């Protein structure tokens, strides 16, 4: 267990947010995870963690570990593809039902998909309820983050496929979009481009995205926040509004990995500017709103995990312009997911072939889980 200081780094913008100071515990909750992507807390205690190979790793409240291999027809595991996000059903305790995002298809033609299963018995079969309209032949930029809305519809982030950046601006394509649909896979009738024919545009909630992987709804305001990977620079936090165009690739503050200019525009009429930009890139991977008294300094902040920077950032929601500070500087690992537990502690999931789940709590907190796995 570590007792260390939260560090304040240089902000993205000139205005410095409230200084975040204090001591904290860092405890490993789970380890030996292979390419994990998302974590959720079981209402009965314990954790469910997706691995891209198609396995859900479940830790019970007693710390017992179970691997649940899923039967997903045509699961595509390559590059950034595979089993991605997980959301528990409202009646998970009774039904053991989960909702998932994942990649399906082949190297020549693969798709982001949404489906469901019940975690009962051996090799639970996943039923695909929706897949994006646009196939691609690249193993990257899937997006893949799920968000269940209060009306029981779903938002799903879809990346641009890397080689298909122009598709982010085309309403007949699902690449580079945030999509909204009902649980049965039909488009939501309140979508800004909805038509009774259920055209590809009928599913679009917002467009002009590159590779969005952080998506969260602030329960106190109802605002929906998204982060996305830019190219070399130009990582963003955006406040979503239905029908808005967030610019990619017409507008970006980043440049091509080769150093070439992608676009001459950093603003464009009719396109929405980000509220925060990271240049150089941090590679933001997930995001959550912190609203708890355990870390009083972090209340009303977005917490953003990053892959490239190997860090967790806090972004104050009541600050204009927004800026970011790094917290928990002892991490120094690629971070794939971040959530807030029912206990108010912050849990981060690390990336790669030796991933782990870590818990962060104030030094004053005595609630370190009895069955923490070290």
Which two three-digit tokens encode residue 97? Answer: 């039902």
Cα dihedral 11, 16, 17, 18, rounded to 10, equals 120
Residues contacting residue 177 through CB under 8 Å, at least 6 positions apart: 157, 158, 168, 203, 204, 205, 206, 207, 209
Distance of CA 369 to the CA centre of its chain: 25
Q: How many CB atoms lie within 10 A of CB 79?
A: 16
Please state, in angstroms and rounded to a whole number, the distance separating the CA atoms of residues 158 and 178.
6
What is the C-alpha separation between 210 and 277, in angstroms, rounded? 14
DSSP 64: -
In the annotation, is 301 catalytic? Answer: no
| Whether 169 contacts 115, CB under 8 Å | no
User: How far apart (Å, rounded) are the C-alpha atoms in residues 256 and 248?
Assistant: 13
Candidates 141, 174, 229, 301; catalytic one: 141
Q: Strand 83-88 relative to strand 65-69: parallel, antiparallel, unpaired? A: unpaired
| Chain Cα centroid distance, residue 365 | 28
Q: What is the CA radius of gyration of the chain?
A: 20
User: Which helix or strand (DSSP H or E) is residue 145 part of?
Assistant: strand 143-148
Contact at 8 Å (CB) between 336 and 327?
A: no
Q: Which residue numbers are catalytic?
A: 141
């Amino acid at each position: 267990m570590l007792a260390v200081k939260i560090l304040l780094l240089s902000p993205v913008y000139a205005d410095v947010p409230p200084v975040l100071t204090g001591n904290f515990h860092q405890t490993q909750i789970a380890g030996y995870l292979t390419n994990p992507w998302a974590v959720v807390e079981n209402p009965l205690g314990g954790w469910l963690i997706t691995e891209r190979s198609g396995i859900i790793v479940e830790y019970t409240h007693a710390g017992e570990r179970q691997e649940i291999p899923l039967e997903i027809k045509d699961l595509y595991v390559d590059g950034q593809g595979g089993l991605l996000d997980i959301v528990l059903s409202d009646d998970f305790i009774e039904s053991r039902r989960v909702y998932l995002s994942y990649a399906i298809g082949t190297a020549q033609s693969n798709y982001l998909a949404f489906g469901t299963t019940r975690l009962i018995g051996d090799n639970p079969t996943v039923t695909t309820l929706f897949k994006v309209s646009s196939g691609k032949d690249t193993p990257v930029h899937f997006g893949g983050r799920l968000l269940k809305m209060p009306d029981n519809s779903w938002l799903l982030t879809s990346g641009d496929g890397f080689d298909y950046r122009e598709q982010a601006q085309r309403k007949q394509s699902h690449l580079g979009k945030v999509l909204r649909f009902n649980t049965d896979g039909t488009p939501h009738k309140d979508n800004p481009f909805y038509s009774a024919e259920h055209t590809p545009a009928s599913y679009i909630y917002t467009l002009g995205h590159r590779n969005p992987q952080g998506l969260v709804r602030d329960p106190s305001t109802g605002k929906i926040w998204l982060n996305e990977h830019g190219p070399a620079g130009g990582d963003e936090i955006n406040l979503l509004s239905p029908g808005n165009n967030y610019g990619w690739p017409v507008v970006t503050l980043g440049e091509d990995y080769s150093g070439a200019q992608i676009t001459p525009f950093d603003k464009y009429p009719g396109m929405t500017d980000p509220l925060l930009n990271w240049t150089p890139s941090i590679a933001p991977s997930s995001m959550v709103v912190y609203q708890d008294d355990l870390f009083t300094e972090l209340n009303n902040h977005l917490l953003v995990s990053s892959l490239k920077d190997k860090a967790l950032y806090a972004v104050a929601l009541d600050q204009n312009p927004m800026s970011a500070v790094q917290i928990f500087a002892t991490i120094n690992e690629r971070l794939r997911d971040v959530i807030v537990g029912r206990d108010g502690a912050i849990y981060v999931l690390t990336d790669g072939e030796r991933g782990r789940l870590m818990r962060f709590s104030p030094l004053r907190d005595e609630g370190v889980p009895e069955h923490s796995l070290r």
